[in-house]
Amino acid sequence: MALNQDKFSLTYSQQFLRLLNFLRQKCQDTSEAEDIAQESFSKLWQNRDKIEDGKETSFLFTIANNL
């Protein structure tokens, strides 16, 4: 099942701060971390048809780590 809008919104609300903190530690720059977090969620949404149910968080953190 693809990622729907409700599941995306839930993932965003549950994972945004966690992702942001992860990125702040990696790049030591809050502004850059915020940009990467937003881009990561954008890519998550763009690839929603490819994501298995329950894998959205790992997909999101993989995207962020690669960016």
Question: CA distances (Å), 47 to each of 5, 41, 63, in order?
Answer: 12, 10, 11
Q: State residue 39's pLDDT score.
A: 98
Show Cβ contacts of residue 23 under 8 Å, excluding neighbours closer than 6 positions: 32, 33, 36, 37, 64
3-state secondary structure of 1: coil
Q: Which amino acid is at 36?
A: I
What's residue 53's pLDDT?
Answer: 87
Indicate whether 1 pLDDT > 80.
no
pLDDT in tens, 7-41: 999 999 999 999 999 999 999 999 999 999 999 99
Question: pLDDT digit string (tens) for 42-53?
Answer: 999 999 999 988
* Among 42, 22, 41, 20, CA closest to 31: 20
pTM for the whole structure: 0.91
CA distance 5 to 67: 23
